[in-house]
Amino acid sequence: MKMIITRRLKDYDKWKHSKWSQGVVGQVQDIKQVLLDAVRYSSHGWDIATPGLVQLGFFLMESTPGKSSTSDGGVAQQVSGLGSEVLQMVFKFHCIAQQEVLSQLLNRIITGCNSPSVDSYFRLLHSIISSEPQVVLDSLHQVREAVSYLSLLPPAAATSLLWTLQPLVKISPSFRDSLLLVLRKSLFSRQPEARRSGLIGYLQLLRSEGVATSVQSNWQLCSSQAPMTSSSANEALCYEILGVLRRCLSQQDTVRVALYEGLSDIYQTSPQLEEPILTLLLSQFNHFYQHDKATSLPVQLANCVTVSHGEATRVEPLDHLIRSVQLCVTCSLHRSSSSDKVVESCVATAQARLDDVLVRMIRCELDDFEIDTAADYSITGSVGMKNVMRCFIVAGMYETLLEYAFVAGEKSMESCQNVLKIFRGYQLVVNILKEKGVIPAGLAGSKKGVSTKSQKGPHSMLSLKGLATMLQALISDELPAHQPGLGLLRESNALRSYLVSTALQAVHQFSDQTGDDHHQLATDAMTTLGRCFYKLMGGRVLAPQSGQNKKDKGKPLLVMSVEGLHRLMLIMCSRGVDQLCHFLSALDEVTRDSSQQQIIHHFIRHFQHYVNSAVAGEASVLGNKETQLLVNLIASLSAQLDPSQLLDQVHGWVKTICVEWNLENDVNLTKALLSLMFTTSSQLSPDLTLLRHLSEDVQYQLGDIEEDIQVAESKHFSVVTPRTSEGCVLSLIYQQTEQALEIVDWLIDHLKAEHSVHSLTAAAADLMIEETEDAIGQTCDRLCQIVRILHNMSRSADIPSKGRSQDLFKCLQKFYGVLEQLTKHVCVCACVCIQYICVCLPTCAVLRFQLDNASCFISLHDT
């Protein structure tokens, strides 16, 4: 059943994206709607089918493609989504199946936490809990049993599970108490991963709206001292959680990193928790703050990294601690002044600490941090590892103070000067790590880790909001009072490249996140970064100053901007047309009153302008790499357009470029343009004229397989050259030919199915013959077009020597298989359409004769 559903979804996808198949087969029934209707009707006395529907739903959900999967990923995602919808409807309409669905769902989450389907299971469980919470409460023992395995789950799975169960925590005090016991057990487990899971659970409880209520300044009191009235129940829980979190300060550094990040996030969303969170962070920071201002070094760096038993250990992630403090302070500075004097005192104290650290860090030299270029930085020894860890901590402090100086200084001249001074110190530390090979020289941005295996690296210490604020100010801020300071920053080529590369790194890491619990602040920051990338693409802002090498500095900045915008739009495309159009509207206010299709086409036209300028070589606006990224971006947006005049404009535009412009043998750009042309053509045109013309051009460029035969001149597409023919055009022709054959094969199967249905009665059989005659005729015409394409490819020279014989014979094998299936079907139908087959067979015989004369390595057998 799963195979049938998957195949039907694939067939529907082929029909939907092929203008020719839509003309032959007017309408194809959507298997998704059929299955959902069956589930809906099963609520009326079809209880015997319920177990099978449950099993089918879970089988379908197992089809979720992995992150590395590239084949049929869209169809596999549809199959998984269909399974989720089936199970949700079964849970809603069949009371007898609710226990079974919930039990299997929880078991699969616990036992398959590393499988690709686990995210789909979490989304389904969250949907069930949100829509039917009372039903889940009736099976609370199953949920408690699943939660008891929390310490055994990876932190990512534990986080998703806790987020999924949040609605139950708010409505069930008994479940909340059970969860607290499990979290306490996990938090003090021997396994660091279990401790992180327990900490994440406590932070989520503190973040939830039902818990984060008013907390008075006497938060240090234990829960037994809090009055246990109904109005103070949440307050008492906050006391207990904050007391537990204070004990986390004595655990491993990885646990404390998660604690610092979680507390700063809660601080920004829960103003009532300002005083306890900031007090906790300041008390920890005071242990490492150098109170003696006569000392140049503002922190006790020696206490952060130690060597014990020949192994270097980071005792305190001081850079993360300072980052958390500065995020809290800058958040308070931008809020309305608090009436609570205690909160104001805490913020003032923290701000004074940060200001002092900033000034002293500017005055510090590398020698003050005991960082020496001649020292050992090998990660295999304890001494080298200690030096590397110290460098990472210092670099993280520089990044954190850079953001603080800019945000808290409100773009004044003095604050911008401090930003440049801090950035120079950061560059010195990072350059040492690059020279020693700890950080690959080709990677942009800071890398807060030792491993160089990952090309993306860990997160930068700059917050998303701070990064977006800085980049937006450099690009868009035009207030006269800010121009002296911002002008100073804009003159720094290294600073702007650092900010853009860090923004691109943040976009990559944002796109790798899974689940639906994206913080709204992060999404808003990504929208701001997208707006910055969009403005940078034109090259009109942050332009190189006089004396700067435009070729060396301008192009990488533009490449990163195009790549970042492309990645963001891919993320939004995966979330649906509504999210995409909302994102696009935020980039350009002109599109706010337009329809969704018009908004998408507006940006396509904008990107087409840049591609046209690059192809025409106007002032070298874009290079080949940037142009290819823009073409891919246009292709992603075009996939969201319905077949209409808007899509026809895209097709006409890309066809014009392929016909008129020689791209100087740029293989990658040629491939991107031709792929876009074929994708749009398949949705708009029923014939294969473009593919046939392309094959004729390839044969003309490569010559005939027999040297004494003169090939007729064919120059339909200027992008086709000898180099591009061998590099990408041949593979595209084979790919498009194989796809055309697959559609024909699907149509033959469809005709067979129609024949088996209508052959039940004589009258239906007569009607089927009349309806099938035209379909078979069009199919034969299609095969004749494919024969001409294969003929051109088989006669092209150098195909065997270039290793293309296998691709050619793969298409030929597929062609003869399809022709055989069509012939058998016509014979079975005893249809009058045999004359169409006779039109196609002589051409196939000619093709066979030509192949026998070719210098090919594989012999063909007659069908």
Q: What is the pLDDT of residues 464-481, one digit of tens each?
A: 899 999 999 998 888 888
Instruction: Give the whole-angstrom CA distance, residue 260 versus residue 36.
Output: 46
Say which range, 273-282, 428-437, 551-560, 849-858, has the weakest mean pLDDT.
849-858
Instruction: Give the whole-angstrom CA distance, residue 188 versus residue 539.
Output: 54
Say which range, 34-38, 430-434, 510-514, 853-857, has the weakest mean pLDDT.
853-857
CA 620 from centre of chain: 31
Q: Tell me what pLDDT residue 802 has.
A: 53
Name the β-bridge partners of 136.
Answer: none
Tell me 340's DSSP state: -
- Residue 196 is encoded by which pair of tokens? 């992180």
Question: Please, are residues 57 and 38 in contact by the beta-carbon 8 Å criterion?
Answer: no
Q: Tell me what pLDDT residue 618 has.
A: 67
Question: Please, are residues 643 and 684 in contact by the beta-carbon 8 Å criterion?
Answer: yes
Instruction: Give the whole-angstrom CA distance, residue 822 versus residue 738.
Output: 16
% of the chain with per-residue pLDDT over 70 = 82
Better-predicted residue by pLDDT, 122 or 64: 122
Q: Is the pLDDT of residue 452 over 70?
A: no
Instruction: Give the whole-angstrom CA distance, residue 196 versus residue 584.
Output: 37
Instruction: Give the whole-angstrom CA distance, residue 35 versus residue 87.
Output: 12
Q: Tell me what pLDDT residue 302 has.
A: 87
Tell me 306's DSSP state: E
Most confident of 19-23, 31-35, 256-260: 256-260
Q: Tell me what pLDDT residue 677 has.
A: 94
Segment 822-832 mean pLDDT: 69
Q: Is the pLDDT of residue 23 over 60?
A: yes
Q: Tell me what pLDDT residue 759 has.
A: 53
DSSP reduced 3-state for 644: coil
Q: Is the pLDDT of residue 547 over 80?
A: no
Tell me 66's DSSP state: P
Nearest alpha carbon to residue 655 among 700, 693, 598: 693
* Number of Cβ atoms within 10 Å of the Cβ of 461: 25
Q: Tell me what pLDDT residue 545 has.
A: 41
CA 424 from centre of chain: 33
CB crowding 727-736: b at 16 or more within 10 Å, else e: bbbbebbbeb
Could you read off the pLDDT of 363-378 as tens digits, one per residue? 999 888 888 888 888 8
Residue-averaged pLDDT of the chain = 81
% of the chain with per-residue pLDDT over 90 = 25
Q: Tell me what pLDDT residue 221 has.
A: 37
- Residue 600 is encoded by which pair of tokens? 């998408």
Say which range, 84-88, 373-377, 856-860, has the weakest mean pLDDT.
856-860
Say which range, 185-199, 304-318, 673-687, 756-770, has the weakest mean pLDDT.
756-770
716: pLDDT confidence band, cut at 50, 70 and 90?
confident
Q: Tell me what pLDDT residue 73 has.
A: 54
Instruction: Give the whole-angstrom CA distance, residue 158 versus residue 149.
Output: 9
Segment 279-304 mean pLDDT: 90
288: pLDDT confidence band, cut at 50, 70 and 90?
very high
Q: Is the pLDDT of residue 853 over 80?
A: no
Q: Is the pLDDT of residue 186 over 80?
A: yes
The contacts of residue 860 (CB under 8 Å, 6+ apart) are: 809, 812, 816, 848, 851
CA angle at 505 for the pair 504 and 510, rounded to the nearest 5°: 95
Most confident of 83-92, 753-762, 806-815: 83-92
Q: Is the pLDDT of residue 362 over 90?
A: yes
Q: Is the pLDDT of residue 253 over 70?
A: yes
Q: Tell me what pLDDT residue 499 has.
A: 93
Tokens 């895209």 belong to which residue?
650
Q: Is the pLDDT of residue 848 over 60?
A: no
Q: Is the pLDDT of residue 450 over 50?
A: no
Most confident of 284-288, 517-521, 773-777, 841-845: 284-288
449: pLDDT confidence band, cut at 50, 70 and 90?
very low
Q: Tell me what pLDDT residue 653 has.
A: 95
Better-predicted residue by pLDDT, 706 or 140: 140
> In 115-218, which ranges are continuous DSSP H helix?
118-131, 133-138, 140-147, 155-164, 166-171, 173-187, 192-207
Please return the burial class of 739, using the count of CB atoms within 10 Å of its CB with bins 0-12, 13-18 and 19+. middle
- Residue 554 is encoded by which pair of tokens? 């301008």
Backbone angles phi, psi at 654, to 5 degrees: -70, -35
750: pLDDT confidence band, cut at 50, 70 and 90?
confident
Say which range, 683-697, 806-820, 841-855, has the weakest mean pLDDT.
841-855
The contacts of residue 490 (CB under 8 Å, 6+ apart) are: 474, 496, 542
Which sign, positive or negative, has the C-alpha torsion 466, 470, 473, 476? Answer: negative
Segment 606-621 mean pLDDT: 79
CB crowding 155-193: b at 16 or more within 10 Å, else e: bbbbbbbbbbbbbbbeebeebbebbbebbeebbebeeeb
Q: Is the pLDDT of residue 445 over 70?
A: no
Nearest alpha carbon to residue 7 among 28, 38, 36: 28
Q: Is the pLDDT of residue 621 over 60?
A: no
Could you read off the pLDDT of 779-824 as tens digits, one per residue? 888 888 898 888 888 887 666 555 567 888 888 889 989 888 888 8
Q: Is the pLDDT of residue 296 over 60?
A: yes
Say which range, 150-159, 216-225, 665-674, has the weakest mean pLDDT.
216-225
Tokens 């932190």 belong to which residue?
155
- Residue 659 is encoded by which pair of tokens? 């016909």
Could you read off the pLDDT of 154-175 as tens digits, one per residue? 888 888 898 888 888 888 888 9
| Amino acid code (one letter) for 530 | G
Q: Tell me what pLDDT residue 678 has.
A: 92
637: pLDDT confidence band, cut at 50, 70 and 90?
very high
Better-predicted residue by pLDDT, 283 or 537: 283
Q: Tell me what pLDDT residue 858 has.
A: 35
Backbone angles phi, psi at 515, to 5 degrees: 90, 175
